[in-house]
A and B are shown apart, each in its own frame.
Chain A
Amino acid sequence: MDFYLAAVLQGLCFSGLALGIYLSMKIFNIPDITTDGSYTLGGTVTGIMLAAHIPQGFILPAVLLSGGVAGGITGFIHTKLRINALLAGILVMTALYSVNLTLMGRSNLPLLAFANLFGNWALTGSQGPDSLIVLLVITAALVFLLGYVLRTDFGIAMRATGNSESMVRALGVNTDRMKITGLAMANALTATSGYLVVQLQGFADINMGIGIVITGLGSVVIGETIIRRFRVVQPVSVLAILLAGAVLFQLALAVTLTLGIDPTLLKLVTALFVLLIVSLPRIFQSRTA
């Protein structure tokens, strides 16, 4: 039971990541893989601030800002310097590795000795369910906040930018600026996942972000399958389902691990699993079409 609860907690921690990937890849149609770097950046910033005994109230804004700056730089390189989005993302991600290592000063930062977000709530009397409640509150807040933004006039312009750029430009939107803002938001969201994971597991690690973009993508694809199946259009519901996708993805991985798969192969299993869920609907579609 604890094992599956851990998977659910992990999944909820990845909700920011799933929302970020959804924003960049689905809403803006930009294959942004700054993710691996901005996720670790969020974790690094959290780690060093916790270790320096900086109050929680300052940590999350700093994390959002750091992720936003990282995404903004990718957006700038992509739109203003006219570099392919994938390459722009790889460049920033690579640069962030050194940035993170410099910030942390070492490759692993243990944080168990410091108070964190999940400690001392005493809501249910045990750590696991307490963490679950805390995470549910935080992720619900993220969903409602982003859901609201997407419904506003600004949000409509955002959604239209990835959908019909020619139209949006003719309607007075600076699409370059919009994309930079969008990538900044996406990576700020991704950084919150780093923020949550580091506090949940009690350490920050320079390699924590390797392949994390696949986890985000897998979550989004699972979510999208549900969204398409039930024709969900309401932004808040769409985002909530993406969270469910993130949790389901972690649960599925947990199940594969209980089947006795060597943890060394976890990334391989993750990649294969994403390949499977991405390709299945297509294979199925081409049969029925």
Chain B
Amino acid sequence: MISLSAIHKTFNKGEPNEVVALRDVSLALKPSEYLVVIGPNGSGKSTLLNVLAGSVLPSSGEIKIGAQNVTALPEYNRSKWVARIFQDPLKGTAPELSILDNFRLAALRTSAKTLKVGTTNTFKDAVKTQISQLGMGLENKVNQQMGTLSGGQRQALTLLMCVMDEAKILLLDEPTAALDPRSAELVLQTADKLIREHQLTALLITHQLKDAFRFGNRLIFMREGEISKDLDAGEKGRLSEEELYKWFM
């Protein structure tokens, strides 16, 4: 589904603040694989995700989605396959637009935004049905501005927005970092459910070792821009939390 070969990324090349974020990283993800990425701050996790999303272009190396080489494709052209959840709940939604408008835009992720009114009653009902599965009572507030909702509510809605249109890849960049434990749990459970239901290939970055433990069917540990450990579902299952903890020390 996704293959990264020999991806190298240097920020501020040739300047005193030069940083090598990724060192010849190669990684292949099979369809429906749910990869959890852990590692210390500055180990290149976010850069890896951004390189996949297209918001950061690699200095060298090749990225393929399916059979297509997308290395030079900008972010807005990769949205055909890739949906993403940001660390900051505010980034994934437009606060001054209504919930309905936000969902409308998400439903058009892979297609053109034309001069046609798409927020019809049929569409509105479809959105309400989607939202009701969260059990937050938000289905009756679709005309409300997104900005009036809490971070947890917004993050949960952003997840649903990802599957409004056909998606193959879901990128989750510390989606729960800014949330309280209860909202965090809801968001991760929803993500897990959607990944299963829609057979998405997913990538989750997290600092919560407990979550790394519970979710996903593959785990990589990054350090200094390299993948230092790569565990498949079986190995991940046998891993103990103390062992995981020790990697960071």
Docked Cα-Cα span, A173 to B113, in Å, equals 8
Q: Contact flags (1/0) for B96-109 with A, using CB distance below 8 Å?
A: 11100110111011
Q: A174 CA to B54 CA in the complex, in Å?
A: 13
Given contacts A170-B84, A172-B76, contact A163 B115 (CB under 8 A): no
| Chain B residue contacts of A174, Cβ below 8 A | 74, 76
B79 at interface (Cβ–Cβ under 8 A)?
yes
Given A164-B93, A172-B110, also A152-B76 (CB < 8 A): no
Q: Considering only CB atoms and an 8 Å cut-off, how many residues of chain A contact the other chain? A: 23
Give the A-B pair count, Cβ closer than 8 A.
Answer: 92
Residue pair B114, A168 in contact (C-beta under 8 Å): no
**Contact indicator B94/A172 (Cβ below 8 Å):** no
B116 contacts A by Cβ under 8 Å: yes
A108 contacts the other chain (Cβ, under 8 Å)? no
When the two chains form the complex, which single residue of A152, A159, A172, A233 contacts B115, counting CB atoms closer than 8 Å? Answer: A152
Nearest CB to that of B103 among chain A residues? A156
Q: Is A254 interfacial (CB 8 A cutoff)?
A: no
- B94 contacts A163, CB within 8 Å? yes
- Residue in chain B with minimal CB distance to A172: B79
Given A170-B83, A173-B113, do A163 and B95 touch, yes or no (CB 8 Å)? yes
Cα A148 to Cα B115 with chains together (Å)? 9
Whether a CB of chain B sits under 8 angstroms from the CB of A2 is no
Nearest CB of chain B from residue A160's CB, rounded to whole Å: 4
Contact B91 A167 (CB under 8 A): yes
A283 within 8 A of B: no
How many angstroms between the C-alpha atoms of A99 and B229 in the bound complex?
64
How many whole Å from B160's CB to the nearest CB in chain A?
A: 14
Q: A168: which B residues are within 8 A, CB to CB?
A: 94, 105
Question: Which residues 36-88 in B have Cβ within 8 Å of A in the complex?
Answer: 53, 55, 74-77, 79-80, 82-84, 86
Identify which of B92, B93, B94, B119 contacts A159 (C-beta below 8 A): B94
State the CA gap A164–B105 with chains docked (Å).
12
Q: Which residues of A contact B105 (CB under 8 A)?
A: 153, 156-157, 160, 167-168, 171
Decide if A166 is an interface residue (CB 8 Å cutoff).
Answer: yes
Q: Given A171-B109, A172-B110, A156 and B97 touching (CB < 8 A)? A: yes
Question: Does the CB pair A154–B95 fall under 8 Å?
Answer: no
Chain B interface residue count, CB cutoff 8 Å, equals 38
Contact pattern, B 105-135, Cβ under 8 Å of A = 1, otherwise 0: 1101111011111110000000000000000
Contact check, B93 vs A153: say whether CB atoms are below 8 A apart. no
Cβ of B82: which chain A residues have Cβ within 8 Å of it?
A: 170
Most buried by B among A163, A164, A170: A170
Q: Is the CB of B76 within 8 A of A173?
A: yes
B142 close to A (CB within 8 Å): no
Q: Which residues of A contact B118 (CB under 8 A)?
A: 152-153, 156
Q: B96: which of A148, A154, A159, A166 is its contact (CB, 8 Å)?
A: A159
Q: Are B109 and A153 in contact (CB under 8 A)?
A: no
B76 touches A153 (CB 8 A): no
* A154 / chain B contacts, CB cutoff of 8 Å: 113-115
Closest CB of chain B to A65's CB: distance in Å? 18
> Is the CB–CB distance between B113 and A157 below 8 Å?
yes
Known A160-B101, A160-B105, A167-B92: A152·B114 in contact at CB below 8 Å = yes
Q: Smallest CB–CB gap between A50 and chain B, Å?
A: 31
Q: Which residues of A contact B97 (CB under 8 A)?
A: 156, 159-160, 163
B80 partner residues in chain A, CB cutoff 8 A:
172
Q: In the assembled complex, how far is the CB of residue A135 from the closest CB belonging to chain B, in whole angstroms?
A: 26
Would you give the 0/1 interface string for A184-206, flagging 1 where the beta carbon is closer than 8 Å to chain B? Answer: 00000000000000000000000
B88 vs chain A, min Cβ distance (A)? 8
A171 to B92 alpha-carbon distance, docked (Å): 9
Asked if B91 and A175 make an inter-chain contact with CB atoms under 8 angstroms apart, the answer reads no
Nearest chain B CB to A22's CB is how many angstroms away? 13
Write out the residue numbers on chain A whose beta carbons fall within 8 Å of the beta carbon of B110. Answer: 172
Report 17 cross-chain contacts, Cβ distance below 8 Å, ordered by A residue.
A149-B115, A151-B119, A153-B116, A154-B113, A156-B97, A156-B118, A157-B113, A160-B94, A164-B95, A166-B86, A170-B84, A171-B106, A171-B109, A172-B80, A172-B108, A172-B111, A173-B76
**Given A151-B119, A154-B113, A157-B105, 13 more contacts at CB 8 Å?**
A149-B115, A152-B114, A153-B104, A156-B105, A156-B118, A160-B94, A163-B97, A164-B93, A166-B86, A168-B105, A172-B76, A172-B79, A174-B74
Closest 3 CB pairs of A and B: A172-B79, A164-B94, A163-B94
Binding site for A on B (CB under 8 A): 53, 55, 74-77, 79-80, 82-84, 86, 90-98, 101-102, 104-106, 108-111, 113-119, 143
